[in-house]
Structure 1
Amino acid sequence: MSFNMASACALEWVPDSLYNTAVSAIVSSYYRYKRDVKALPENVQFDIYYKLYNKGQLCQLGMDFSDLDTFSKVLKIIDKRHLLHHSFQALMDHCVRLSDILADAFTVQLMPSTCPDTVSRDRAIQFGLSLGGFLSDAGWFYASEKVFKGCLLLCQMDDVTSSLLKALDCSVRLLHVQNANCRYKEAEVTRSVACQCLEVLHERNVPVNTSAFHTECCTLLFAESLYDEAIKYCSKAVKELSASLPHKVIQSRCWCFLQQTLLSSTNILIRISFLKQQLKVKISAGQLIVCINDRSMFGGQHPKYSDALLDYGFYLLNVDSITAAVQVYQMALDIRQSVFGGNNLYVAIAHEDLAYASYVQEYSSGNFKNARDHADKAIEILGHILPQEHLLLSSSKRVKALILEEIAIDSHDKEEENRMLLESQDLHLQSLALAKAAFGENNVQTAKHYGNLGRLYQSMRRYNEAQEMHLKAIEIKERLLGTDDYEVALSVGHLASLYNYDMRKYDEAEKLYLRSIAIGKKLFGEGYSGLEYDYRGLLRLYRTTDNHSMADMYANILQQWNQIRDSNNAKEVRPLDFQVFDNLQDLVQDCVAKMG
């Protein structure tokens, strides 16, 4: 018996490869071989550095990665980029501000004495684009912005056409980072720089593919709530990308970059389609987002795949497939945690999205523990890496404020209820102030913050203030989105609830409920989840005013609604049952055309 067990153990043991044994031997005596490592091939160097990370030798790894020449070599190993993200994040968590160290070292390298000629400048620009791109992909936007600004300065030292093309490329990448980091005022300046480059290139009759530039303009305009202008730039991006590309280009490696540009435009298009409530577009958007989620484009554990999943989760949440949305958001979070881990901005954003989706899912049950945990985690991570006044941090605080309000309402402890409501108010006011500073009054995000405060003040029994906030939200949303928009319906429904339950303005409440119901049914159909609150509100209103016939009618309507919802919920949800489309551009162009 013991012989058989020994035999089984012998069969299970597999010796390590000679290569791995050699790498481990170098790492175990690293100080002896450190100088020799730099002479090894780049892929071997990478494996040694990653082994240092695995062995917990972060101080040594931090010193090596702080050297620009060393880091330039590991950046060349594209197929192991997720491993580089792992080790880089570990150093950042270990209080080695590697992103700033590399960005500062790069800007020092750009002194005129170190880049006296075109060849040295081109070499520095090429490395800067690689370094800035990695820092952007890893979520270290301030450092990435510094690197791209340095590259742009180098490009502007020459007035030749090739330098102008590089300057355009740098400014577009810089614009992307500033958009992602919510630095919209700086983004407007960068956008002007890119426009100047384009004007000169057009004067010189130099053909330029402007798809990436138009995509970033679309992103900026979307943030500023200029949706019609954003759609125009989205259309330009798609047409430019697919207009005259030869088949060989599509098959080449650069097609991956072009696809990413297209997907960025598409994801903004999907968000605009919901804000503008274009039903035909939403149908195409549903097909489109499924196409985006085809893993073959990036691979199942690629950060870009998680980006697509977050946009797909947004789509599902907005078509009332809430359970499926939570599943997709969880998948995105799992991928980002596996790629980055630690106190990473992209991980925090995924936590925030999952927190909000979980909050919506559990709105009826009142079980907000999971939602609160994700909101707290998002705030904890962002608090480590962002200034307290950053717009991304305010977004997570807004989600936590919504969750705290619901927990407070269900609390049986008055002291605890008041404490959580005051904390929620503080978070909402911070978020509103930051939104107004970033966007001004005339913005959908600002309107949402007013609406959130309106609901909170209702919970705090400050009814006149609640009414003021809801009316502000409705006015802004109607001006930007029209009178029959989903966002308008939400605010109208909230004001109806205030009038019905607390201010006894029953005639006004009835009109508002009916308006909210009409918009909800038109956009989402008879089984839309938001209808429940309006139906219950009307039922309560009619019973309070002794309108028994109308109360009976809405009791029946609510019962029918419950049957529809039960039927919808009983259907198996398969959010990632993919359908692959051969021509992504055609589908996007169809979407854009339907936006009109």
Structure 2
Amino acid sequence: MAEARDSQAVSRANIIKTLYELSVISVTKGLGTYKKSLTYLPDNVLFDVYRQLYKEKRLCLLSQELTHMDVFTRMLKVRDRRTDLLQMFQSLMDHGTKIANDIVVAYSICCLEVLKKPYAKKEVINLGLRLGSFLCDSGWYVESEEALNACKNLCIMSNCQEYETPESLCRTLDCCHKLLHAQTAYCSFRGAAETHELALATVKKLEVAGYKDFSHAALYAEFSVLFFIRGEYDQAYRWSVAALKELKPSLPARITIDVLRQAAKSCVVKREFQKAGLLIRQAVYLARDVFDIDHPKYSDVLIDYGFYLLNYDSIVNSVSVYKTALEIRKRIFGKMNLRVAIAHEDLAYALYVQDYSSGRFTPANDHATKGIEIMEKLLPNEHLMLASAKRVKALILEEIALDTALTTEEDLLMKSEDLHLSALQLAQTAFGERNVQTAKHYGNLGRLYQSMSRFDEAEAMHLKAIKIKEELLGSDDYEVGLSIGHLASLYNFHMTRYRDAELLYYRSIAINLKLFGKSYSGLEYDYRGLLHIYIETGEFDKVREYQDILNRWKDLRTQHAESEDPPIDLHKRPEPIQKVIDTFFTM
């Protein structure tokens, strides 16, 4: 009898669901008739009506509806359907509508109307925060910045026209946090610098007022992102640690996740891998627990987890994680979106590293090409975001060139040089000469000129890269070791400067052993380089010594590969955030 009642209950539930769906379909078919009555529907029901228009591909009508600010405002309030709204929004952009721009224009009008209706100021500011955040999540960063700048101006006007209350200052900081997120994502560094200064000044005002009941965790994490992208890693690390100290169990999970993943990235570039692993895994498990695995926030965390794994020499796992992140973004954003382009670029580089010894670069090249094609359609000419994508493409083309016929090789190497020079110019314009990003491009040109038999130019590029990196990062940093190894290869294989190369290899090995241990993959190139030197110089005792070292290294690599766990434990749950923070600060 109990089973029969349960079966009947399930049956009734299915009927109710079907009746609801039929009702929604009926409303969408007679939308013109029911137009005036839609305002009386609950927000979640109205959302389903517009979702049905999306399913029926009635995109022009859907665009007309969603460009009304009051309608879009109601859609933003249905927070548990954010992924659906992102899909709908992207489909309208793909369809050729200008809904992103139209929505921002509509919001700007709302801001102007505040001059006549000052009582609505707080409501309009809150709307701007939600709208700007959504546009940023959807990958339309220019429109996000425009909306949030309008919101910021309202916040500043509010602070000027009335006594600066802690509440109004906190709203300004919230706007700065979201605006800085959009600006750094789009590499709008001039605007980001202004936002950074406004945020610091506002934090100072709160301190002077003695107001402490506000966490700066999200804001400090964005400070860290800004310095990280600019290659100022010490500052990025400092702000990420400050953000961790501001975390509280009461904060929204989204903020906690963003702080953890940015702090993890900052730890990676400082080669604090134990700390980075702790933080990024907790971010992965928390994002999965809160948002599930089909959410853009989960894909964001996976991108940063892939970065950690790649730098930690877990290359196969890194590729796997990047592939998963890309598939999530493609399902949500389709093909023509900057967030998809970035995922293609990240996967391309991981595949390039994975397949470096095999020479099978077709998958890496395909993803790099797709990433650049998307960026070139969505970005202005010479945008900085293209610099990184062009760098990856150039590295891949260089390797392909070395395995092809002579005439094809020359063409590919020339294309690679054009891409590297373009990337270098973009980096110099954005960051200046004395910057880690600029130094990386010099190093890449050095490797390319070595492949092109332009050895003097190659040496000059490597020396520039080493000089800048040593000044900024110190003599024992990973980036310095990388450039030293490349210069050693040039001296060894092309300039017969064996003693100079030998010293550089020893230095590179010392850096790699200190940072990564004896099983690190990059040690192979140093060991083989030394073997070449000692064979050429007839030092056969040294040949035997380093052949033994290389053989032991191969055994360690096999053990390392066999001992690696899957990157994501499907049964792992996130730890309490306070426990994670306490563990971090005792490491």
TM-score (norm 1): 0.91
1:265 aligns with 2:271: no
Matched, 1:520 2:525: no
- Equivalent residue, structure 2, for 1:3: none
For the structure 1 residues 591 and 203, does the alpha-carbon distance in structure 2 shift closer, same or farther, using more than 3 Å as the test?
A: same
AA in 1 matched with 2:116: P
- Residue 285 in 1 paired to residue 276 in 2? yes
Which secondary structure does the structure 2 equivalent of 1:209 belong to?
A: coil
**Matched positions, count:** 565
Partner-residue secondary structure (3-state), 1:503: coil
Q: Find the counterpart in structure 2 of residue 4 from structure 1.
A: none
C-alpha change, 1:588 and 1:467, in structure 2 (3 Å) is farther
Of structures 1 and 2, the one scoring higher in RCO (CA 8 A, sep 6+) is 1
- Candidates 166, 170, 174, aligned match of 1:165: 170
Q: CA separation of 1:414/1:223 partners in 2, compared to 1, >3 Å: closer, same or farther?
A: same
1: CA distance between counterparts of 2:493 and 2:406?
20
Per the alignment, residue 121 of structure 2 pairs with 121
2:396 aligned with 1:403: yes
Contact 1:235–1:592 (CA under 8 A) maintained in structure 2: no
Q: TM-score, normalised by structure 2?
A: 0.92
What is the match of residue 451 of structure 2?
Answer: 459
Which runs of structure 2 are paired with 1:239-254 in the superposition (5 Å)? 239-242=245-248, 250=250
Label 1:364 to 1:142 Cα distance change in 2 as closer, same or farther (>3 A): same
Contact kept? 2:268, 2:276, Cα under 8 Å:
no
Report if the CA contact (8 A) 2:176-2:195 is conserved.
yes
Establish whether residue 225 from structure 1 lines up as the match of residue 227 from structure 2.
Answer: no
CA distance in 1, matches of 2:339, 2:500: 44
1:588 to 1:423, Cα distance in 2 relative to 1, 3 A: farther
CA deviation after TM superposition for structure 1 residue 368, in Å: 0.8
Structure 1 residue 461, shift from structure 2 partner: 0.9
Say yes or no: does 1:584 pair with 2:585.
Answer: no
Residue by residue over 1:29-49, the C-alpha shift from the partner in whole angstroms, topping out at 9 and shown as x without a partner, is 434444443443222221111
Q: CA deviation at 1:332?
A: 1.1
Match for residue 274 of structure 1 among 268, 271, 279: 268
Q: 2-side partners of 1:476 and 1:399: how far apart? A: 21
Asked whether the equivalents of residues 237 and 267 of structure 2 are also in contact (C-alpha less than 8 Å), the reply is: no
Matches for 1:299-314 after TM superposition, within 5 Å:
299-314=292-307
Q: Does 1:325 align with 2:318?
A: yes
Q: Contact 2:282–2:575 at 8 Å: present in 1 too?
A: no
- Corresponding residue SS for 1:147: helix
Amino acid at match of 2:293: G
Q: Which residue of 1 aligns with 2:440?
A: 448
Quote the residue 2:240 is aligned against: 234
What residue identity is the alignment partner of 1:293?
V
Which runs of 5 or more structure 2 residues have no equivalent in the other structure? 1-10
Aligned mates of 2:574, 2:257 — CA distance in 1 = 14
**Shift in Å at residue 552 of structure 1?**
2.2
How much has 1:27 moved relative to structure 2? 2.6
Distance 1:329 1:473 in 2: 28
Q: Distance in 2 between matches of 1:492 and 1:475?
A: 10
Q: Which residue of 2 aligns with 1:211?
A: 217
CA shift digits 1:271-291 (9 cap, x unpaired): 33232223xxx2132122222
CA offsets 1:34-89 (integer angstroms, 9 cap, x no match): 44434432222211111111111111111111111111111111111111111110
Corresponding residue to 1:570 among 539, 562, 565: 562
Alignment partner, residue 139 of structure 1: 139
Are the aligned partners of 2:263 and 2:279 in contact in 1 as well (CA < 8 Å)? Answer: no
Residue among 465, 470, 473 paired with 1:473: 465
* Aligned partner letter, 1:174: L
Question: Alpha-carbon deviation of 1:299?
Answer: 1.5
Which moves more between the two structures, 260-269 or 397-406? 260-269
Matched, 1:554 2:546: yes
Return closer, same or farther for 1:79/1:262 CA change in 2, 3 Å cut-off: closer
- 1:322·1:361 contact (CA, 8 Å) conserved in 2? yes
Instruction: Give deviations 1:160-187, integer Å, cap 9, x for gaps.
Output: 3133332222122211211221112211
The corresponding residue for 1:185 is 190
Letter in 2 for 1:234: S
* Distance (Å, rounded) in 2 between the aligned partners of 1:556 and 1:61: 68
In structure 1, give the amino acid aligned to 2:497. K
What's 1:7 paired with?
A: none
Identity %, equivalent residues: 45
Q: Please give the alpha-carbon distance, in whole angstroms, between the structure 1 residues aligned to 2:42 and 2:190.
A: 44
8 Å Cα contact 2:383-2:426 kept in structure 1: yes
Q: How far apart in 2 are the matches of 1:36 and 1:435?
A: 55
2:3 corresponding residue in structure 1:
none
Q: Which amino acid is the alignment partner of residue 238 of structure 1?
A: L
Which position in structure 2 is the counterpart of 1:45? 46
2: CA distance between counterparts of 1:240 and 1:526? 37
Which of 194, 198, 201 in structure 1 is aligned with 2:199?
A: 194
Map of 1:534 onto structure 2: 526
For 1:74, the equivalent position in structure 2 comes to: 75
In structure 2, do the counterparts of structure 1 residues 297 and 148 end up closer, same or farther at CA, with 3 Å as the change threshold?
Answer: same
- The answer (yes or no) to whether the contact 1:100–1:143 under 8 Å persists in 2 is yes
Structure 1 residue corresponding to 2:503, chosen from 498, 501, 511: 511
